Structure 1
Amino acid sequence: MRRYCLTLDLIDDEKLIDEYKQHHKAVWPEVLESIISSGILNMEIYLSGNRLLMIMDVSANFSFEAKSSADFENAKVQEWETLMWKYQQALPGAKAGEKWQLMDQIFKL
């Protein structure tokens, strides 16, 4: 099992952040299925202010490229991602259309 941590900012607007949190209380079944079928074993998202932290535990066969490719072919996942862009903003230095940024681990006990 491997672990990845990613980060992303939300638009700094209390109403939008509340809406984003509500969406994540009822993630669409098709989106959940795409997460599970890609080899993600556990996923957690934390919020501080408007900064998000995602922790993913993945199986040995997980691939970001394969997940991205499968998601691109899934109309419902694309609909979800389009909806989420209403709330999200790319971090400084992100490439066009790039959302979540992979974080580097700098300490482990």
Structure 2
Amino acid sequence: MKKFCLTLDLKNDDELIEAYEHYHRQDIIWPEIPEGIKACGILTMDIYRVSTRLVMLMETVDEFELKSGFEKMASLPRQKEWAALMNTLQQRPAFAAPDEHWVEMKRIFRL
């Protein structure tokens, strides 16, 4: 199993932040979204928020590669529509490379 930690920012608007959390509720999220996530080899995914900063923790199958896994996910039903909706609520961190959305974080400590 592999583990990944990624970060992304939300737009600094209370209504948009509330909408982002609303769309991620278990009883609201479109069923195709978690199904597509799992179909790409992601076993668990947790998203945490403080202020406008998001942190995503993922556990994946050993074969999972971040770039190709996200590309595969983007090709699945309703994923493009979901991504377009989420893009209205999110913004790339200032330190993200031009081709990055969620930015992989580097582990610096483990206990």
Q: TM-score, normalised by structure 2?
A: 0.90
Q: Which has the larger displacement, 71-80 or 53-62?
A: 71-80
CA distance in 2, matches of 1:37, 1:94: 27
CA distance in 1, matches of 2:29, 2:94: 27
Q: Tell me by how many angstroms 1:67 deviates.
A: 1.8
Q: % of aligned pairs identical?
A: 38
Partner of 2:96: 94
C-alpha contact 1:38 1:66 (8 A) present in aligned 2: no
Partner of 1:56: 58
Partner of 2:82: 80
C-alpha contact 2:37 2:73 (8 A) present in aligned 1: no
CA distance in 2, matches of 1:59, 1:106: 22
Change (3 A) 1:62 1:52: same
Q: Tell me by how many angstroms 1:75 deviates.
A: 4.5
SS at 1:70's partner residue? helix
Partner of 2:44: 42
CA distance in 2, matches of 1:73, 1:2: 22
SS at 2:35's partner residue? helix
Could you list the structure 1 runs, at least 4 aligned residues long, displaced by more than 6 angstroms after superposition.
none
Partner of 2:32: 30
CA distance in 1, matches of 2:78, 2:99: 18
Partner of 2:8: 8
Q: Tell me by how many angstroms 1:34 deviates.
A: 1.2
> How many corresponding residue pairs?
109
